[in-house]
Amino acid sequence: MRIATWNVNSVRQRLGHLLDFLKEAEPDALCLQEIKCLDADFPRAEIEAAGWQVETHGQKTFNGVAILSRSKLEDVRRGLPGDEGDEQARYLEGVLPLGNGVVRLASIYLPNGNPPNTEKYPYKLGWMKRLTAHAEMLLEHEEPLVLAGDYNVIPEPRDARDPAAWVSDALFLPPTRAAFRELLNLGLTEALRSTTEAGGLYTFWDYQAGAWQRNNGIRIDHLLLSPQAADRLAGVKIAKHVRGWEKPSDHVPVMIELN
């Protein structure tokens, strides 16, 4: 099974790129973030016509997540538990068939948290705490689990071309990185880092200051795997070339292969 994640940065603006990527990469499931539209405005017809099942958790103008899959997503959950007052559309979860069993898959758009001296940073850390609590519960099922998405976390200095430029940013602050480690310490495996220790591997390049042209990137899009999923991991790929397409998202897809 091939699972991909991609912060598409407005699904309606990037619909052509999305359809091209689906045709090129042929994933079994694709988690999208920042679809930036209500469920009713998602370009469902075009994507279903290409052979995909669609589940969305949208929000007008901001945020929004989706899962596109070849098989119908079952046991769908919209929204991260733990705060009934949270109206931001950042979490979508469901179950897909995998061999004789299933894989539970989530599309995650973790809060950015900037500026750190505002209410946005406590919201980010609170959201990460809720995610950790929910992941701990999901791990009790002892099934293949993939938590995929834009985490807005730079885990280590090697995950940024210029770490010094990020020391005061919510993506790289010590509490952010500690919260990410706490999530991993539940027993989750970060897919890319289980296959390589190399630096210079990025998933995001800002639109400003020629970041893409200078390869001034950061790695903030991750797939975290339960032990049962990690045992099936056969490979990880960053589709870096997508950033070079005309009017691209500032993120690129990341894909894993599960046996």
Task: Report how far residue 120's alpha carbon sits from residue 100's, in angstroms, rounded to the nearest whole number.
Answer: 43
User: Would the annotation count 152 as a binding residue?
Assistant: yes
Residue 48: which residues within 8 A CB-CB, separation 6 or more? 54
User: Would the annotation count 7 as a binding residue?
Assistant: yes
Q: How many CB atoms lie within 10 A of CB 61?
A: 9
Residue type, 223: L
Task: Report how far residue 12's alpha carbon sits from residue 224's, in angstroms, rounded to the nearest whole number.
Answer: 27
User: Would the annotation count 17 as a binding residue?
Assistant: no
User: Would the annotation count 20 as a binding residue?
Assistant: no
Q: Is 238 helix (H, G, I), strand (E, B) or coil?
A: strand
Place of tokens 């950033």: 243
Task: Report how far residue 44's alpha carbon sits from residue 141's, in angstroms, rounded to the nearest whole number.
Answer: 31
On whether the CB atoms of residues 218 and 243 are closer than 8 A, the answer is: no
Q: Which residues are catalytic?
A: 109, 150, 251
Judged on CB neighbours under 10 Å (0-12, 13-18, 19+), 180 is buried
User: Would the annotation count 87 as a binding residue?
Assistant: no
Task: Report how far residue 217's alpha carbon sits from residue 64's, in angstroms, rounded to the nearest whole number.
Answer: 24
User: Would the annotation count 119 as a binding residue?
Assistant: no
Show binding-site residues for Mg(2+): 7, 34, 150, 152, 250-251
